[in-house]
Amino acid sequence: MTKIFSKYNIGKLELKNRIVMPPMCMYVAPETGMATDWHVVHYATRAVGGAGLLIVEATGVSPEGRISSGDLGIWEDAQIPGLASIVKSVHENGAKIGIQLSHAGRKCEAIGMEIEAPSALPYDDNANTPREMTKNDIAETVEEFKNAAIRADKAGFDLIQIHAAHGYLINEFLSPLTNQRGDEYGGSYENRVRFLGEVLTAIRSVWPEEKPIEVRVTAEDYGEGGNQPADIAAMLNLIKDKGIDSVNVSTGGVISVAPKVFPGYQVPHAEMIKRLTGLPVVAGGLLSDPAEADAIIEQEKADQVYLGRELLRNPYWALHASRVLNADFEWPTPYQRAERKKKA
């Protein structure tokens, strides 16, 4: 059995393999943030394609929490039925599904929204300057994450991923490049991770115990004085007992810098966080080769691998990979006539 096709448990959630589709903004939701038939087809197709876990794109916990006006929302009960339709279609096609709860912070580009952040620092010279959040704003946002978790459970999601990466609000609190506060939410590791810890505590108080919580982090800011993997690991260690079951490791997005990228470029970051925290990790970064993805699991650099752009190009990547690797993996019955393994 190839490692990538072995079963895997995140907490009490059993997955049929270790292939993950990470959250990727689709920009096709209406201004109301409601899920559409397009979303149902998009996610169901990847479930048919064999990925073990799909995570729905960044979903705003408030209107100003959206990255764009085309993002999904989970700030009101009217949005639950559409999200539940996505869950139902994915479950019916053999995969598990999570949702990424998100607040864009200073990177919100949704039309007509007042943007907010831990400090009044714009993303770049062309961006609007956000309003610095008060402690009351912070408490209200924690409550928004909590209410979003309640709705995610009602919609039937198997997992929540908290978006603490890519320069959005929680990541803005974590990074010294975006957090210049002088109160208990700024400065030290303990202070910068406090907001994420409060969000975790709030979500865990309403999210069923048998359902896992994952945190997505930016492990490298790519800027002088910014976070590196050891910094993120140190902060995660301070709050991991609040209910973190898994860490999805990405990089960048905090400042306007384009890193040098290549297949697997973020795997070393995940490997270090796994070693320093003892937490299960999900690694990726432009992966497409089945053997390379399998080797990451085989060599215990990560516990799962995520494929983003590759699953946009090829929703059936897992089926293709099972042929390339001669893996013992059951194809959907309607597609089994195409299941021809490579000759040994």
Question: Domain 3-338 belongs to what topology?
Answer: TIM Barrel (3.20.20)
Amino acid code (one letter) for 337: R
The pLDDT, as a whole number, for residue 341 is 66
pLDDT in tens, 80-96: 999 999 999 999 999 99
**What pLDDT sits at residue 158?**
98
- Paired tokens of 179: 């957090």
Angle subtended at Cα 163 by Cα 274 and Cα 270, rounded to the nearest 5 degrees: 20
Which residue, among 156, 157, 153, 174, has the nearest Cα to 165 in the 3D structure? 174
- Considering the chain, what is the average pLDDT of its residues? 97
pLDDT given at position 339: 85
Q: Is the pLDDT of residue 307 over 80?
A: yes
- For residues 158-170, average pLDDT: 98
Could you state, in order of their start, the residue ranges of all structural domains in the chain? 3-338
Average of per-residue pLDDT across 253-264: 95
Alpha-carbon distance of 85 to 272, in angstroms, equals: 38
Answer whether 42's CB lies under 8 Å from 246's CB.
no
58-69 pLDDT per residue, tens: 999 999 999 999
- Percentage of the residues of the chain whose pLDDT score is greater than 90: 97
* 303-308: average pLDDT: 98
Beta bridge mates, 163:
216
The model's pTM is 0.97
d(CA 324, CA 342): 6
